[in-house]
Each structure stands twice: as C-alpha cells, then as structure tokens.
Structure 1
Amino acid sequence: MAEFQPHEMLGALANHHVEFVVIGGYSANLHGSPLPTLDLDITPRRERDNLDHLSGALRELDAKVRAVELDEPLPFDHDADSLAAVEVWNLTTRYGDLDISFVPTGTRGYEDLRQDAVEVRLGGLRVLVASLADVIRSKEAAGRDKDRRALPVLREILARRLHEGPVSPPPRAG
C-alpha cells in the first residue's frame, strides 16, 4: 500500500479540472477532527465532461481497483461512461487509497454537498470540502462502527463552532 499523500491526489484532481467535494474522514480532519484517516473520499460532479476529467486524473494517479478479497489491486480501463456506471469506486493510487462515491449515504450527491461546502486552501490548491454538518449527516446515515465512533468528536467540534459563532475578519489596516 502506498503512503497516504492526499495533497498529491488532490493536486492531480485539480490539474485535470475535476469538480468534486471532499467527504469522509479527510474532510473531518480538515474541519479539525484529530481522528486518523488513511484514505481520501470524494464526491465528483456526475456530468460527462467532469467524468472525462476524472478519468484523466485517475490515469495520472495510476489508479487501480481495490478489493478486500484480493491480494493485489486490479488495473482497470475507464472512461466517463464506465465511471458513471458504478456508484462507488474503491481505488488505490500511487499516493494512497481514493474512494469515489457519487451519492454518499445520507446525501443526494455532489449538488447537495456543494451547497454548504467550504473552500479550503491547501498549499496552492483550493478544494471544496463538505460542511461538517454534512459529514455528520453522512456518517449518521452510514451507521458503520467506525462512523459511530467518530460522531461524538465531530458533534463536539460542530457544537463548539455553533457556540463560538463565526470568526470575525481581522481589522483592516488603515
């Protein structure tokens, strides 16, 4: 398994002009969660041109299909049509695991997540990240053990933010 380097994966997606929202554990990390994650989860816009861009990024990343029952990941040929035909792709890349979910549990997909997504700057990249409330909503709906364990931490971060209110911009220099 390759070392998890999410910034490299995000860079390839950005270089290929893929429209997507970061979801899952890495999104939670970007919101301040200390819980470890070993993969990058995204929800791409499901339009043909965007899936063409996604296919190009996956080629650059040398993406292969990851399956628990297999010792080695499987190479796969892909294009916009084949990517659109499957709801969830579990992939491994030269920079770690990448999971693609077109309609994450508890959401209606890209347009739904994009509404409340926040733009985060990571180095020279600008990335859309699912809102913390949407991350919580998806993890609640998924109901997996690892998601249930993360929920108290994520709810605490959200409650703190709601209690503290929005951060005021710094005073303007004058």
Structure 2
Amino acid sequence: MPEPWQPGPLLEVLLRRGVRFVLIGGFAAIAYGSPFPTEDVDITPEASTANLKRLSDALHELKAKIRTEGVDDGLPFDPDAASLAAARMWNLTTCYGDLDISMAPSGTTGYADLIKDSVDHAAFGLLIPTASLADIIRSKQAANRPKDQRVLPVLRELLASRHDQHTDDD
C-alpha cells in the first residue's frame, strides 16, 4: 500500500543528509501560489558523485523503492551514486510518499541551470531551494504533457502578477 504523502519529513531527510538539489514541478509551483494539488515531490539533484552518494544515503533512510503501476509497495531499489547517475529519471516511493528525481528536467540542462535563479522557500521549518517560477514554466512547456498544458496558463498569470508587483515597487 502506498505511503501517505508527507513532503516535510521527506525534504528534511534530503537537507539533513546534505543533498544539493532544487525543488521542481508541481510542489515547487505551489510555493509561488499555484492552486493545483500534487501528490509527489520532484527534485533535480546536483550530479557530482559526492552529492549522489549523499542522495543514495538519503534514499536508503527513506526506504525508497521504484514506483511502478500495478505494484503497490514498489520494487526493491538499492541505489548508489553510479546507479543514480545512470538514469535520467527515477520515480520512487518512500516512507513519506512519492519522490521523483529528474537529472535534467525537460527544457533545462539540470541542476546548474536551475540553481542560478532558484529561491530558498521557507516551508515545514526548512529552507528549500526551489526552481524559479520562470524555470518551472519553461520546463512544463518543454515537457508538453496534457497535465502541464492545463496548469501553464495559471502559472504564466502568477509570473506576470509577480512581475507587475516588482514593477510597481520600483
């Protein structure tokens, strides 16, 4: 049976383990005011061997398994830095709910690209490095999935509103 989604404890483990990552996807969009619910945490980790080792340690602590349709508890997963680096995307389930790891989200070149304009958002008593709203939009546009196309007009409106607020403050 899938675990209940608890993004705070999941993110706390990643941060406590020293994993360098950027929050992306729907949960990141919520930090900017998106009204669309999500049921997973999406991250892009920095791809150095040392960081992927820290991510591996965090995934072991989180009891991560590979999430696949038709298998409620997930498939066994014993990640190490090399196996994490070998795939572009990991869809996992953890003791705190679902976690998706994307090494280079659509429309981006990965961590170095996303960290440049990221913002530390406060949530769950943590400071979470979060992709900029413009980068979230860029990635969702490039992915061009139906679920992304549905949310893009609202995300663009949020971005325009933020831009207008900054212009008014000047």
Shared fold (TM-score, shorter chain, > 0.5): yes
Q: Does 1:80 align with 2:81?
A: yes
Once the two structures are TM-superposed, the CA of residue 113 in structure 1 deviates from its matched residue by 0.2
Give the AA of the match of 1:95: Y
Give the AA of the match of 1:78: P
Residue 68 of structure 2: SS of its match in structure 1?
coil
Give the structure 2 partner of residue 152 of structure 1: 153
Give the structure 1 partner of residue 44 of structure 2: 43
Q: Normalising by the residue count of structure 2, what TM-score does the alignment of the two structures yield? A: 0.95
Write out per-residue CA displacement over residues 50-75 of structure 1, whole angstroms, 9 at most, x where no aligned residue.
Answer: 00100010011100000125344101
Give the structure 2 partner of residue 171 of structure 1: none
Give the AA of the match of 1:76: F
Q: Kindly tell me: are residues 121 and 71 of structure 1, through their superposed partners in 2, closer, same or farther at Cα, counting changes over 3 Å?
A: closer
- For 2:132 and 2:142, the matched residues in 1 are separated by 15
RMSD (CA atoms): 1.3
Once the two structures are TM-superposed, the CA of residue 166 in structure 1 deviates from its matched residue by 6.7
Unaligned runs of 5+ in 2: none
4+ long deviations beyond 3 Å: 69-72
- For 2:118 and 2:158, the matched residues in 1 are separated by 16
Once the two structures are TM-superposed, the CA of residue 78 in structure 1 deviates from its matched residue by 1.3
Aligned length: 168
- For 1:167 and 1:135, the matched residues in 2 are separated by 24
Give the AA of the match of 1:133: A
- Equivalent positions of 1:19-168 (< 5 A) are 19-165=20-166
- For 1:59 and 1:166, the matched residues in 2 are separated by 46
Identity over aligned pairs, percent = 54
Greater radius of gyration (CA): 1
Residue 116 of structure 1: SS of its match in structure 2?
coil
- For 1:167 and 1:56, the matched residues in 2 are separated by 46
Q: Normalising by the residue count of structure 1, what TM-score does the alignment of the two structures yield? A: 0.93
- For 1:32 and 1:47, the matched residues in 2 are separated by 32
- For 2:111 and 2:24, the matched residues in 1 are separated by 10
Give the structure 1 partner of residue 8 of structure 2: 7
